Amino acid sequence: MRECPLLWPRVVICPTFWNAIRIPANERTTSRESELSLQEQRVELPRYAMAHLHMMSKTIFGTLAAIAELLLLTALPSTAVAEETAHNQAAACTALKRANFSDIADAPTWIISTGLVIATGADPAYCKVFGTIEPRIGIEMRLPVKNWNGKFLEYGCGGWCGVIFSDGCMSSLRRGYACIASDMGHKGSQPFDLRWWKDNLQGQIDFGFRATHVAALAGKAIAAQYYGAPPIKSYYYGCSTGGYQGVMEAQRFPWDFDGIIAGAPDIDSTQSNFRGLWWTRSNHDANGNQILGEKELTLLHNTALALCDLDDGVKDGIIGNPLGCKFKPRTLLCKQGETSRCLSSAQVDAAEKFYSGPVNSAGELTSTGSFLVGSELAWEKAGWGSIYFRDGLAGYSTGADFKDADFDFDRDYKRLGLAPWYDNSNPDLRRLKAAGGKLIVYHGTNDTDDPPGPVIDYYETVEKTMGGQKNTEAFFRLFLIPGMNHCGGGIGAMNVDWLRILEKWVEEGTAPDSVVGTHASEGNEPNFTRPLFLYPDYAKYKGTGNVNKAENFRRVSGEPSRSDQ
């Protein structure tokens, strides 16, 4: 497991969504350039410039190699057309630095450097572009030198961004996409560097919604300049904060993309931090002592599994339909004289708070959605603290010594509307539907970094706003992945080729009713595949055949478990 980052200043914190920056295995690249890119993301700011210079020296080397390749190709008449095209595109890469992008409406852009990167393994040669969108949004774009598929993709960020997740572009680049990623308007030593927030309204707005939009504008313009034609289709792909960006785009700028994949999105970033503080507080008593430890969480989890593991027909630790699981932690309350394999009243209260999400002392819900049954083992590290409020994310001021215990759950939640630029909870998606845009959201049921509850609540609110399930599924589809953690990992069938699924929906009109996920096991355990169905439905074993094969599962309606029934 990755170590939690050390955050500035003087604060060691373990953001539970650190895994957000993990790139799924099927999107990793082994190219030297991509490794360099990761290095660039993780270095301290002064070293960023050094890494950049290093990149430029590599780029020069790459350019020479590309020229040598072109000279070699010149001797082959059968490839004359292709080599001429490649030559032109190599020259076009260099020419991008001299091109004028300052007049892109709403997104004046300056190119800082360009250079060819040679092909490595499965990664194609590409033109790499660094630039800035006014006033301070850093972008990196990667444009395949050959075999551009005519399409554009923007890849999202993770954590609080501040670095460019351009490595996430590589899986789409291998398919011929031109791809852009941004730092969302500020620089950080790593994605959980919080120094940028305080007194930085422009930075907050860029992070909130602007950077994703203007990066799309700039990326399309750069692609058009490089290839001599605008992209024929545009897509967005991101998870965690990247998912947040995708949902925000669907609401604010539904004309930017033909299709959006939003994995494990935050719904309203201010609210996410409010909920995070609730979970932290829920599991600590007045003296700061933890209430639910590993032993109690294991008891909760095992009791939930005993009740609901078999809802999918397989005893595998995966609850297929957590929303339908009627587990109540109060059933574990210690009886008179009972001291083991039971929970104290305080422990039961804490567990109920995890499942419910924030409430005030009158018992009224003050936010939307929370953890699902089955995720208990990760609760010990769930939640995050007051630092996000102290440093200004919430949009209101606190004292410099503001602590977790200072947040008043009967009062302070009423102040959370002061930073509306973080709010992507608008369920009115009529403009997205009218524009012909398609939105896929996926979420792991065992996610405790960005729990799925708020996303489920958002989807259901969209259904109510847009005229019901059928009208919503025409352009917006939600898939829950049983047993998956945050953006990947866990025990579920989490690996899905979402981009291909979205392409088929947008370009071929084939809407995904079900998709097949693959679990890549570690050790001697077998890999398995399992179908994933549109929310609220789920997969159940037919009772015969190999349980590791998706074909032996059928679709079961999750309708009775919907929160509005």
What's the rounded Cα separation, in Å, for the pair 254 and 518? 31
Q: How far is the CB of 477 from Ca ion (least distance, A)?
A: 24
Closest approach of Ca ion to the CB of residue 535, in Å: 18
Q: Which is nearer to Ca ion, 157 or 314 (CB)?
A: 314
Cα–Cα dist 352/45, whole Å:
43
**Which secondary-structure segment (H or E) carries 117?**
strand 109-117
Measured in whole angstroms, the distance separating CA 249 from the mean position of its chain's CA atoms is 13
For Ca ion, the closer CB: 220 or 530: 530
Segment 143-202, which members bind Ca ion (CB under 5 A)?
A: none
Smallest separation, CB 304 to Ca ion (Å): 11
Residue 314 or 332: which CB sits closer to Ca ion?
Answer: 314
Other beta carbons less than 10 A from residue 535's beta carbon: 24
Pairing of the two strands 151-155 and 233-239: parallel
Residue 135: asked if its preceding bond is cis (omega within 30°), the reply is: yes
In angstroms, give the least distance from the CB of 301 to Ca ion. Answer: 13
> Please, where are the H alpha helices in 467-525?
469-473, 498-508
Question: Among residues 14 and 307, whose Cβ is nearest to Ca ion?
Answer: 307
**Site track for Ca ion across 304-333, x = CB under 5 A:** -----x--x-x-x-x---------------
Nearer to Ca ion, 231 or 324 (CB): 324
Q: What angle do CA 274, 324, 489 make, to 5 degrees?
A: 60
Q: How far is 537 from 406, CA to CA, in rounded Å? A: 41
- Shortest distance in whole angstroms from residue 315 CB to Ca ion: 6
Residues 30-89 interacting with Ca ion (rule: CB under 5 A): none
Beta carbon of residue 305, minimum distance to Ca ion (angstroms, whole number): 8
Alpha-carbon gap, residue 373 to 351, rounded angstroms: 11
CB 318 within 8 A of CB 482: yes
Torsions phi, psi for 517 (to 5 deg) = -100, 150
Q: Closer to Ca ion at the Cβ: 309 or 449?
A: 309
In degrees rounded to 5, what are phi and psi of residue 511? -75, 135
Cβ closest to Ca ion, residue 467 vs residue 545? 545
Q: Based on CB atoms, which residue is closest to Ca ion, 327 or 422?
A: 327
CA–CA distance, 112 with 157 (Å, rounded to integer): 21
C-alpha distance from residue 399 to each of 146, 297, 389, 402 (Å)? 55, 34, 10, 5
State the minimum distance, in angstroms, from the CB of residue 488 to Ca ion. 19
Contact 178, 144 (CB under 8 A): yes
Region near Ca ion per CB under 5 A, out of 60-68, 282-290, 301-309, 473-481: 301-309
**Pairing label, strands 259-263, 438-444:** parallel
Instruction: Say whether residue 297 binds Ca ion (CB under 5 A).
Output: no
Structure tokens at 376: 């208990």
> Which of 312, 503 has the CB closer to Ca ion?
312
Per-residue tokens: 479: 């898939």
Structure-block tokens of residue 211? 């950077």
206 close to 187: Cβ distance less than 8 angstroms: no
Window contacting Ca ion (CB under 5 A); options: 22-30, 142-150, 274-282, 303-311: 303-311
Sign of CA dihedral 24, 25, 31, 36: positive
How many chain residues are in contact with Ca ion, going by CB under 5 A? 5
Instruction: Pick between residue 332 and residue 493 the one whose CB is nearest to Ca ion.
Output: 493
**Shortest CB 447 distance to Ca ion, Å:** 17
CB of 310 vs Ca ion, minimal distance in Å: 6
Q: How far is the CB of 479 from Ca ion (least distance, A)?
A: 18
CB of 320 to Ca ion, least distance (A): 6
- Residue 207's nearest CA partner among 190, 236, 186 is 186
Q: Would you say 179 and 169 are in contact if contact means Cβ atoms under 8 Å apart?
A: yes
Q: Which residue, 153 or 318, has its beta carbon nearer to Ca ion?
A: 318
**Least distance (Å) from Ca ion to the CB of residue 465?**
33
User: How many other β-carbons are positioned within 10 Å of the β-carbon of residue 153?
Assistant: 29
Query: Smaller CB distance to Ca ion: residue 86 or 318?
Result: 318
* CB atoms near residue 230 (< 10 Å): 13
User: What is the spatial distance between Cα 254 and Cα 509, in angstroms, rounded to a whole number?
Assistant: 19
User: Which residues of the shown chain bind Ca ion in the complex (CB under 5 A)?
Assistant: 309, 312, 314, 316, 318
